[in-house]
Structure 1
Amino acid sequence: MRTLSVLFLMVLCCTSASFAQSPDQKIGYVDQQHILENMPEFKKLNEEIVIKSDQYDKILKGKYEEFKLKSDAFDKLVASKADQAILRDKAIELENLKKSYEDFETNSMAQLRDYYSKKFDPIKQKVNEAIIFAGRQKGYAFLLRMDLNPNGGDLWPVVLYARDTTSNLTSDIMKNLGINAAAASTRKVGLPQLLKK
């Protein structure tokens, strides 16, 4: 944890030093969640998920009620000392109902996740493209999204757009840490960097 904080401070200091050289480097931030929540496509997707979820819940409730009725009937058969062949048959029926309930619950959740992901990806892509367009149009060097730090404490910046991706300080930081700088990665980071300019 302490190492991450030191690394973050080193990056911040190096980044601040490079910004001091060029006063025209503008940095902005984006409330990406607010943008998403106000998009008609996102609102519609959430409504669809609620409707599908309610439908699945009704089916699950029906399956549970059927299981409960047959389970109560089975308990009565056991109490009345019914024939073993009947009890075995009813026990198998109960087991099948239980499995059907569990399978439907698992499958419906997977279907909801898949449906959401399939519909959400183009919406997120549209927002990312709009962020990049706005950053370029307004002459920003960086656009950030401020997330809560998962370890608690301050906000954690996430770069959504970087005008200049050639200012990679990875080699310098690795050298400062005593790591072979030749092993520094040249990969581009962040989803917006994958979008074509």
Structure 2
Amino acid sequence: MKKFLQIAMMAVLVFAATATASAQKFGYVNSAEILAELPAMKAAESNLEGLQKQLQKKGQAMVQNFETDYRALQEKAQAGELTPKAQQEEATKLETRQKEIAAFEQQMVADLQKKRAELLEPIYKSVNDAIAAVAKEKGYQFIFDQQVLLFGEETADVSADVKTKLGL
């Protein structure tokens, strides 16, 4: 029985030593701060703003032309310059243009989303690659984003290492 107790005690000590030796290392980064400091991110945001303004300007011009033509049609109809059939034809044309404006707005949103993904995907990839490289170099098994972290010691913050890896 004494021998069994000694073996059991040794097994517990070996298990505890193994668990301690293979302790996992955790870190975290502030990805929002890193992204905000990247020149590529600033350029992408500027590019997106320019595209958005350009598309909005085109959409506003379409709406203004529509409103002008709508008012002109109302004035002609009130003045009795149009027959009921001509009024109906003009109203149908305006409805078609209104649908075109709505389709343009939907396409504008889709184009902006596509351009955003196109511009930001390589930036996100470079940040993720830098995080993975830091994790491998420093022996981290897990790196979390600070935005979803409830608690973290400052010594586990690897944001500065990632910034260095990115050349910031």
Structure 1 spans left out of the alignment, 5+ residues: 1-19, 149-153, 158-197
In the alignment, is the contact (CA less than 8 A) between 2:25 and 2:140 conserved in 1?
A: yes
Deviation at 1:115, TM superposition (A): 1.1
Aligned to 1:96: 96
Matches of 2:34 and 2:124, distance apart in 1: 10
Deviation at 1:21, TM superposition (A): 3.0
CA RMSD of aligned residues (A): 2.4
Higher alpha-carbon Rg: 2
Structure with more of its chain in strand, by fraction:
1
Matches of 1:22 and 1:66, distance apart in 2: 73
State the aligned residue count.
Answer: 134
SS of residue in 2 equivalent to 1:140:
coil
CA offsets per residue over residues 58-106 of structure 1, 9 Å max, x none? 0011001001111111222232233112202211221122112111111
Aligned to 1:33: 32
SS of residue in 2 equivalent to 1:117:
helix
Matches of 2:50 and 2:145, distance apart in 1: 31
Aligned to 1:75: 74
Matches of 1:127 and 1:22, distance apart in 2: 30
Q: Which runs of structure 2 are paired with 1:34-73 in the superposition (5 Å)?
A: 34-73=33-72
Aligned to 1:135: 135
CA offsets per residue over residues 122-181 of structure 1, 9 Å max, x none? 111111110010111122232111335xxxxx8499xxxxxxxxxxxxxxxxxxxxxxxx
Aligned to 2:87: 87
- The letter for the 2-side match of 1:44 is A
* Superposed structure 1 runs of 4+ greater than 6 Å apart: none
CA offsets per residue over residues 3-25 of structure 1, 9 Å max, x none? xxxxxxxxxxxxxxxxx734863
What TM-score do the two structures reach when normalised by structure 2?
Answer: 0.71
Taking CA–CA contacts closer than 8 Å with sequence separation of 6 or more, which of the two structures ends up with the larger relative contact order? 2
In the alignment, is the contact (CA less than 8 A) between 1:41 and 1:123 conserved in 2?
A: yes
- The letter for the 2-side match of 1:129 is D
In the alignment, is the contact (CA less than 8 A) between 1:147 and 1:156 conserved in 2?
A: no
- The letter for the 1-side match of 2:138 is K
Deviation at 1:48, TM superposition (A): 0.6
Aligned to 2:116: 116
In the alignment, is the contact (CA less than 8 A) between 2:30 and 2:147 conserved in 1?
A: no
Matches of 2:124 and 2:26, distance apart in 1: 22
What TM-score do the two structures reach when normalised by structure 1?
Answer: 0.61
Structure 2 spans left out of the alignment, 5+ residues: 1-18, 153-168
Matches of 1:100 and 1:32, distance apart in 2: 40
Q: Give percent identity, aligned residues only.
A: 25
